[in-house]
């Protein structure tokens, strides 16, 4: 089946620093990747959609300068939280898909970010 | 128009019972309806998905019932087990997997002994 690897699984950083989260499709080429944010006991909130080789499309209300997304290859997308603040603490999840593909949307295992 | 409404918010079922979670959508352009299971601290995992050309799909203990005219779909978990205790999300997308998923609000299922 399709596997998406997300790294790191958890990270603690100091306020004002930047953190990079990686999302890799291990056994398929993901033309499209999605980044979500999830608060405790809430649903997934889509932050942005990224297509390989093009700029990410951000959802309304998501600061593109704060959440930098790069999808440089068909197997790797990164989310960088810049100048992190405690309110950025959350669970971040990536998802990858191949339009019309057999396995639909495959999700990573998520990254717990804590900003102190 | 992009919303997917999910109910109930939480559900307690005895072991061996049937768990039923319902979702309703508004956008008739949706054509892919997956259900995801999520354990604490993990990403969602696909359970089962359906397209609007069928009214029911069964995989093991999991069944999706789909009512196109009512714009509703539901997940039935037969013979519920304690290991099924998790949060379940319905979702919908347009054009299969080519576009973003719209998620329901989630249902926390607890299966008791």
Six token digits for residue A31: 């033309």
Lowest-pLDDT range of A95-104, B11-20, B87-96:
A95-104
Burial of residue B81 (CB within 10 Å: 0-12, 13-18, 19+) is middle
Instruction: Give the number of residues written for chain A.
Output: 116
Across A12-21, A40-49, A79-88, B89-98, least confident range: B89-98
**pLDDT reading at B97 higher than 80:** no
Residue B98 has pLDDT above 80, yes or no: no
Q: Is the pLDDT of residue A107 over 60?
A: yes
**Distance in angstroms (rounded) separating the CA atoms of residues A93 and A9:** 10
Residues of B in contact with A8 (CB under 8 A): none
Cβ pairs A/B, distance under 8 A:
60
A102 touches chain B (CB under 8 A): no
CB atoms A103 and B108 under 8 Å: no
SS3 B40: coil
Tell me what pLDDT residue A30 has. Answer: 84
Answer whether residue B79 shows pLDDT above 60: yes
Q: What is the C-alpha radius of gyration for chain B, rounded to an integer number of angstroms?
A: 13
Give A57's contacts (C-beta < 8 A, 6+ positions apart): A48, A49, A50
Q: What is the mean pLDDT of chain B?
A: 94
pLDDT digits (tens, 9 = 90+) for B14-41: 999 999 999 999 999 998 999 999 999 9
N- to C-terminal Cα separation, chain A: 38
A39, pLDDT greater than 80:
yes
Task: Residue B71: count other Cβ atoms within 10 Å of its Cβ.
Answer: 17
Q: Determine if residue B47 is left, alpha or beta; phi over 0 gives left, psi from -120 to 50 gives alpha, anything else beta.
A: alpha
Query: In this structure, what token pair is assigned to residue B56?
Result: 């029911």
- What's residue B66's pLDDT? 96
Mean pLDDT, chain A, whole residue set? 92
Residue of A nearest to B86 (CA): A41
Determine the Cα–Cα distance for residues B24 and B33; give it in Å rounded to an integer.
11
pLDDT tier at A74, thresholds 50, 70, 90: confident
DSSP result, chain A: ---EEEE-SEEEE-TT--EEEEEEESSS--SEEEEEEE-TTS-EEEEEEEETTSPPEEPTT--TTTEEEEEEETTEEEEEE-S--GGG-EEEEEEEE-TT-TT-EEE---EEEEE-
Q: Is the dihedral of CA B104, B75, A30, A91 positive or negative?
A: positive
Specify whether the CB–CB gap between B24 and B72 falls below 8 A: yes
Looking at the partner chain, which of A43, A46, A103 has a beta carbon nearest the beta carbon of B100? A46
Would the pLDDT of A97 be above 90? no
A99 and B105 within 8 Å at the Cβ level: the answer is no
- The sign one gets for the Cα dihedral A3, B20, B33, B5 is negative
Other CB atoms within a 10 A radius of the CB of residue A105 amount to: 26
């Amino acid at each position: 089946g399709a596997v998406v690897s997300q790294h790191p699984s958890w990270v603690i950083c100091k306020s004002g620093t930047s953190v990079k989260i990686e999302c890799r499709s291990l056994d398929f080429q993901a033309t499209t990747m999605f980044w979500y944010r999830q608060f405790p006991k809430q649903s997934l909130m889509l932050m942005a959609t990224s297509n390989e080789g093009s700029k990410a499309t951000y959802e309304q209300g998501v600061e593109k300068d704060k959440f930098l997304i790069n999808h440089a290859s068909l197997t790797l997308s990164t989310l960088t939280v810049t100048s992190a603040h405690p309110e950025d603490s959350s669970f971040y999840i990536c998802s990858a898909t191949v339009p019309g593909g057999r396995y639909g949307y495959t999700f990573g295992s998520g990254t717990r970010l804590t900003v102190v | 128009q992009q919303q997917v409404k999910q109910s109930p918010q939480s559900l307690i079922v005895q072991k061996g019972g049937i768990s039923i979670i319902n979702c309703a959508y508004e956008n008739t352009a949706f054509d892919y309806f997956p259900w995801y299971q999520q354990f604490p601290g993990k990403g969602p995992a696909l359970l089962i998905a359906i397209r609007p050309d069928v009214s029911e799909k069964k995989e093991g203990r999991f069944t999706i019932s789909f009512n196109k005219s009512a714009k509703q779909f539901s997940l039935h978990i037969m013979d519920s087990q304690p290991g099924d205790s998790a949060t379940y999300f319905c979702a919908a997308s347009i054009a299969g997997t080519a576009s973003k998923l719209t998620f329901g609000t989630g249902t926390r299922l607890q299966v008791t002994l």
